Structure 1
Amino acid sequence: MSNKGVRWAFNLSKWEPSHADMLLATSCVQVEEKERLGKFVFKNDFKASLIGRLLMRKYVNETTGLKYDEIRFGRDEKGKPFLINSPSHISYNVSHQGGYTVLAGCGTGGLLGVDVVKVQFPRGKTLNEYFRTMSRIFSGVEWEKIRSQGSETSQLAMFFRHWCLKESYLKAVGVGVTINLQDVCFKINSDVLSKDRLVDDTEVYFRGEKLDWEFQEMLLDEEHCVAVASESNTGEKILFKEIDFHEVMKNAVSLLDPDENYCTSFFNKCDKI
């Protein structure tokens, strides 16, 4: 078993699956996950979620040594996937939004969350109007940081960065929007993110008390930022590595028979605009 952490990013915009790709990929997930995927209306959402399931299976296989086709995932009462038959304690989390699906994994256990966000201007609203509709998400301190940025583009980037951080933490602790989001307050100490360097000096406070959590942030490209929240500081500084479909499917083993009709239904779905 490997204790080394991983950070994978799959660029969905670069993957236009062939019929053979989809036959193989959809045969490598459990039947209940296949049923969930089939309910998506748009191709984009289907692809993003499918890759997420395959990344989890790849990670568990490579980290624990469990045979690919013997890995079994379940879902807890909140719908979060978990590994049923693991002999070891590992942590992993997936996220997808915009043009990416990402996975963060840690072989030493502890709470772990990841979130990826696409930075984009709201449709049909000015930035001020949009910020007003989202006012309850952030604390006064966070809004002050967002508003202190010079241009609207910079304010929007800082807004989504806070959003990404908050989601990564909430996913790790598993509470979602059941708490007052303003109680979780981030202090960003390094304003600039880049694609080739991790920022790890961001702090988080809960109702004014500083928490002992580590956050690692970076850009995947000019439009997407990613954040990993970790309860246990392993000392590892890991940049996200972009992997393609061939790498995702390396060592994959089919769990189900190829389903021609199911794949045809995918190609008949609409693209999300």
Structure 2
Amino acid sequence: MSIKNGNVRWAFDLRSWRCTLNDLELATACIQPEEKDRLAKFHFLDDFKASLVGRLLMRQFIKVCLPELDYNAIRFERDSRGKPFFRPNATDQIAAHIDFNVSHHERYAVLAGSFTKNFNENNRQLVGVDVMKMEYSGGKPLSEFFRLMHSTFTPNEWQFIKARSGEQKQTDAFMRHWCLKESYVKNIGVGITIDLQSIDFRLSTVDLSATDIVRNSVVSFEGAPQNHWVFEESLLDNDHCVAVAVKNPSTEYTTELSQNELLFEMIDFERLMKDAKPLIAVDSEYSRKVLGKQLKKTL
């Protein structure tokens, strides 16, 4: 699991993880008690697994950034909006700014992280990430779905979406715009509670790729161009797009990273649990109950 000039892009394929009882016993002992309680409320096994992997990705990210820190000493708290953040101990001397964000949808859980050593307190590099399956399965005709979702996008964005040829291409473009907006609002920490038409993306590259990162999409907010932002877009596979919103990109990010160094790295369970140490006692009964949860769909 690599960190490139202070930046991390990891993806976990949930479909590839056929979690055993032993897997769950270990994994659920390596998260904080309050997160364990939070996860227990998920009705479906799919959602439980995705959120659990997200928590473990966060822990592994901090461990990679701060290898001198004991795994079971890593502590997260949540801000007023519920977003997790790393809380170092008062005695930890960390001369760097750490920011990260996680997302999951359908097959993938992803993490984007930033570990910036040379930073200005008023100009810190921040990240937001979102992943989307490029599929519409709502039952209604796509045109009716677009009509109902009219307020989601600006006229400029709808023009781009509807100019694509065929329903699948239009669906791809819709999900791509949604992914970009989610990454942006997650970065600024407001979620999708704001008017999404106040955010206007202009896309210069028509199609995304799994082998190249697109970085030329730009955004305006309430008509004002938003400078000091970079948006990374790519595909994880033919069906899933991913977007990373980088605010105040550092010098290392802008000058020392090649175009495709930040393609998402696929992480399996063994690598996810590297150097993991339990924080709490193994709970076999809890893990058995989790394995008894229903699936929304087959992963």
Per-residue deviation, 1:123:
2.5
> Equivalents in 2 of 1:130, 1:2: separation in Å?
40
2:235 counterpart (202, 219, 222)? 219
Conserved 8 A contact 2:114-2:126: no
1:76 alignment partner AA: D
1:112-127 to 2 correspondences below 5 Å:
112-127=127-142
> Equivalents in 2 of 1:113, 1:169: separation in Å?
6
Conserved 8 A contact 1:40-1:46: yes
Give the TM-score, by structure 2 length: 0.89
Q: Which residue of 1 aligns with 2:207?
A: 192
Q: Secondary structure at the match of 2:97?
A: coil
2:51 alignment partner AA: S
Q: Which residue of 1 aligns with 2:195?
A: 180
2:146 counterpart (124, 128, 131)? 131
Per-residue deviation, 1:177:
2.5
Conserved 8 A contact 2:10-2:267: yes
Per-residue deviation, 1:3:
4.8
Q: Secondary structure at the match of 2:38?
A: helix
2:191 alignment partner AA: G
Conserved 8 A contact 1:122-1:130: no
Conserved 8 A contact 1:3-1:63: no
Conserved 8 A contact 1:92-1:112: yes
Q: Gaps (5+ residues) in structure 1?
A: none
Conserved 8 A contact 2:201-2:217: yes
Q: Secondary structure at the match of 2:277?
A: coil
Q: Gaps (5+ residues) in structure 2?
A: 117-123
2:237 alignment partner AA: D
> Equivalents in 2 of 1:3, 1:239: separation in Å?
14
Q: Secondary structure at the match of 1:45?
A: helix
Q: Which residue of 1 aligns with 2:109?
A: 101
Per-residue deviation, 1:209:
1.6
Conserved 8 A contact 2:182-2:192: no
Give the TM-score, by structure 1 length: 0.97
Q: Which residue of 1 aligns with 2:76?
A: 73
Per-residue deviation, 1:4:
2.1
Range 172-181 or range 194-203, more displaced: 172-181
> Equivalents in 2 of 1:210, 1:64: separation in Å?
36
Q: Which residue of 1 aligns with 2:120?
A: none
Q: Which residue of 2 aligns with 1:249?
A: 273
> Equivalents in 2 of 1:245, 1:211: separation in Å?
38
1:58 counterpart (57, 60, 64)? 60
Range 177-186 or range 196-205, more displaced: 177-186
2:238 alignment partner AA: E
Per-residue deviation, 1:91:
1.1
Per-residue deviation, 1:211:
0.9
